[in-house]
A and B are shown apart, each in its own frame.
Chain A
């Protein structure tokens, strides 16, 4: 084989060797330890599945990144690009209502297209957790607190931005599905002018301005509390008011737990996928050009696969943040490898076993 050919790699693959692979595995062990002590058990999903099953759930850039292939029977398959969806099918088919609530976690390779010049996505591996069958505040808070625990374990300087798809949906009342999609783009890109243009179709100018201010709100829980108090009487619908109050309740509990500095209320977070139904959040940290973590509530997702049960979860890309994990030396292989002594192979084996029993790394 020509060396020039060997030097080429398809997009979105990576191999890990020696110290890097060891560090990656140690990080996963630390994360798995957290999941285990929170009562979450691992689920392993297939590497590929039929594309048509997931097609209605895939949109925008996520759809563009999927690798597809045709099997021997001519069926179109997709490689696992997001564990959440594959997990939903697996659990939707296998769980029964009387099994609930169920706590699942996962850590596995995903395969997504990545442009050659994309130096930073690093979406090669996905770690996450799902809490199935626990509706409302308790479920949402458990996942938020678990997310914060994971970040604390990794000692990364990160912040979680919390928003609400339910509030966004309430604010969209009266708009056509196409307008809802367009508004979602305007909110995600924080284009106030475009938001006002769309909202004015169903709302008076004053209500439009208030809704736009709310959709663009980004601040601390204390600032959000002040805003909500100031504008509560002018919020045009009970649905919008209820969802804003719900978010404030979550913020208050996180604040009371001493998490205020790690949290921002950010109503421009509306979830990248339309299957979100309530809480949505994303994680940001210094040195990264995009969110490394995302999650939220998707109460209708499992019913696509036969189980009507509420669900909330999060996932993140550990390879994206590994360079910024605090005290990285705790995940490095211990220093020094000793060499077993002896004149025969058996003597060396015995000496090595003795040293290994004392925790040493020994080569023959």
Chain B
């Protein structure tokens, strides 16, 4: 049997709100990443880490199939993917809340046995309410979920809320905070098992950040 290769560890990072924070943190820990304009992959200066830039919601797919061994993403996409990952580190940035929201003064208490919810997170919403013994009808949306109660598609939405400004702008409000969402370094379990020494060194670096 031959030995394992020393190819760079692969890390998927999400485009968008977390990208800048992650690259800054890596740079602070001496992992210099320079993603040229429009390029979606890059090696760090020492060629020990390969960064893959992917859409946030696609990130678990890349890690699950081992295309990237590691990834950085929130509980929301991890949970929605239903793939098994190791959570190796929780970051201090990027945390948010998964909330039930609706038009002001709309309470789900008037009909707690059955709710219609528009959401980008059907798995989370279904399992959350089923665990409370509440039946839900889910309308899956891809974005701009706030429109659903405004236009009458569904009385409630389940969505990530950071500042709540978009909700307020659409005359909506948080009815209930359902779960705290953190950002994690995740690993494909098989990839971790093969490369745990090098991955643990990266985790130690990130913990210092």
Interface residues of A (CB under 8 A from B): 119-120, 148, 151-152, 155-159, 161, 188-191, 218, 261-262, 264, 266, 284-291, 326
Contact = CB atoms under 8 A, between A and B. Distances in A.
Given A262-B1, A287-B66, A289-B64, 7 more contacts: A190-B189, A218-B193, A285-B194, A286-B194, A288-B190, A289-B65, A290-B189
Interface in B1-57: 1-5, 7
A288 to B, nearest CB: 6
A159 B4 contact: yes
Contacts of A119: 65
Which 6 interchain pairs have the tightest Cβ spacing? Answer: A289-B66, A157-B2, A290-B190, A284-B193, A289-B65, A284-B190
B1 A151 contact: yes
Contact of A189 (B4, B86, B190, B194): B86
B32 to A, nearest CB: 26
B156 interface: no
A155 B1 contact: yes
B87 interface: yes
B188 interface: yes
A262 B1 CA distance: 8
B191 interface: yes
B194 A155 contact: no
Given A155-B2, A157-B5, A262-B1, A289 B188 contact: yes
A158 B5 CA distance: 11
Contact of B2 (A189, A190, A291, A326): A326
Contacts of A155: 1-2
Contacts of B188: 289
A120 B66 contact: yes
A261 B3 contact: yes
Interface in B76-109: 84-87
A157 B188 CA distance: 18
B196 interface: yes
B84 A156 contact: no
Nearest to A185: B84
B193 A157 contact: no
Among B87, B188, B189, the one with the most A-chain Cβ atoms within 10 Å of its Cβ is: B189
Contacts of B196: 218
Contacts of B1: 148, 151-152, 155-158, 262
Among A189, A218, A290, A326, the one with the most B-chain Cβ atoms within 10 Å of its Cβ is: A290
Contacts of B84: 188-189
A43 to B, nearest CB: 27
Contact of B193 (A148, A161, A287): A161
Contact of A291 (B3, B65, B190): B190
Contacts of A191: 87
A308 B95 CA distance: 54
A289 B10 CA distance: 13
A31 to B, nearest CB: 15
Contacts of B193: 159, 161, 218, 264, 266, 284
A288 B1 CA distance: 16
Contact of B190 (A156, A190, A262, A289): A289
A189 B86 CA distance: 6
A151 B2 CA distance: 10
A194 to B, nearest CB: 10
B148 to A, nearest CB: 27
Contact of A190 (B5, B7, B86): B86
